[in-house]
Amino acid sequence: DAGVIQSPRHEVTEMGQEVTLRCKPISGHDYLFWYRQTMMRGLELLIYFNNNVPIDDSGMPEDRFSAKMPNASFSTLKIQPSEPRDSAVYFCASRIAGTGGEQYFGPGTRLTVT
């Protein structure tokens, strides 16, 4: 298995544009997590899914952010409209139920909003 796959790896966009980040979890994993990493705030959980259903989105910063998981092998995190303060590295992670806290992370998407 190639592990958790994220695309794109780098994204540069202008303020006001829509940004879509993609994630493919490890096959068979039933939890999927989206995190944001910044120098100021560290690693923050944005939202997580269980069996494709959003369970906790309390970390989503505001209505400009939305996440979907239409099936077990794909999830998206969308920012519309994007702002410079959204610049960060966005990580996707997945895990199997019952394995406690071990989550498997993707390589991340570095987003720069100018």
Partner 1 sequence: AQRVTQPEKLLSVFKGAPVELKCNYSYSGSPELFWYVQYSRQRLQLLLRHISRESIKGFTADLNKGETSFHLKKPFAQEEDSAMYYCALSNAGNMLTFGGGTRLMVKP
Interface residues with partner 1 (CB under 8 A) are: 3-4, 31, 33, 35, 41-45, 48, 50, 55-56, 91, 93, 98-108
Q: What is the DSSP string of 6-26?
A: EE-SEEEE-TT--EEEEEEPP
The nearest distance, CB 87 to partner 1, in angstroms, is: 18
Q: Considering only CA atoms, which of 90, 84, 64 is closest in space to residue 7?
A: 90
Residue nearer to partner 1 on the CB measure, 59 or 81? 59
The nearest distance, CB 14 to partner 1, in angstroms, is: 27
Classify the C-alpha dihedral 101-102-106-110 as positive or negative: positive
Residue nearer to partner 1 on the CB measure, 17 or 38? 38
The nearest distance, CB 16 to partner 1, in angstroms, is: 30
Q: Considering only CA atoms, which of 11, 33, 32 is closest in space to residue 21?
A: 11
